[in-house]
Structure 1
């Protein structure tokens, strides 16, 4: 998949922000709020967005560091792009405003699929260790 137009600027900005916990947390919180407000508009990538938010958040809090910094910067860049209302296609354009956001999220998710998969497994392992998931049951069903 080709890198979406405008994404490189977000990636450069993310590289500068990745070491700043306060600013990274601010971007994560803005992404959570916007994601919740845009129910229906980003449903095609809702699960991917949630995993990106969780992974970047866990990394920022120091809970999960088994991921390359390049992956965190790429994930943070997707979140930055998403929270920017004036990107390649401004969000206020009805019907089209979130098309570029969905494209960027899909691109990033595919770019870091291996690391996202390992993070997802780590999340399952954490739930299993805490007792939220019984052994042999990855879906939380009891």
Structure 2
């Protein structure tokens, strides 16, 4: 029962996921699992592993209420990208060698560029939390 998901659908679902702690936790768990399996299958995804884990940690910190110094719009983009990432059938199915992972990788790189300073601030906050 593969579902076809495009960027717009992922972003529509993001609002629902972000407002429901149970769904947010499920997204975080599925994103970690998907990342682990895809990093083994794709060199491109493997290269982005740290970036994706940062996005996962951002969603986790936000949904737990620990970090809120980011716009809601940026969080919706982040959740939307993670939803798109974990969905089995997207614009270019992942079972198509190389190309299937490129759309995921491109979207993750776009998000990093889009979040820019907000993501840098999160990582600085996260580093301070580790020092405590």
TM-score range, shorter chain: 0.7 to 0.9
Q: In terms of Rg, which structure is larger?
A: 1
Larger relative contact order (Cα-Cα within 8 Å, sequence gap ≥ 6): 2
TM-score (norm 2): 0.88
> After superposition, where does 1:48-87 map in structure 2 within 5 Å?
48-87=51-90
RMSD over aligned Cα, in angstroms? 1.2
Which of residues 103, 107, 110 is equivalent to 1:107? 110
Which of residues 25, 33, 50 is equivalent to 1:47? 50
Q: C-alpha distance in 2, partners of 1:38/1:17?
A: 22
Q: Which has the higher helix share?
A: 2
Q: C-alpha distance in 1, partners of 2:96/2:12?
A: 26
TM-score (norm 1): 0.82
| Partner SS, residue 60 of structure 2 | helix
Structure 2: segments with no counterpart, 5+ residues: 1-5
Q: C-alpha distance in 1, partners of 2:7/2:117?
A: 20
Structure 1: segments with no counterpart, 5+ residues: 1-5, 130-142
Aligned residues between the structures: 124
- Aligned-pair distance for 1:120? 0.2
- Aligned-pair distance for 1:121? 0.1
Question: Any runs of at least 4 consecutive aligned residues in structure 1 with deviations exceeding 3 A, and if so which?
Answer: none
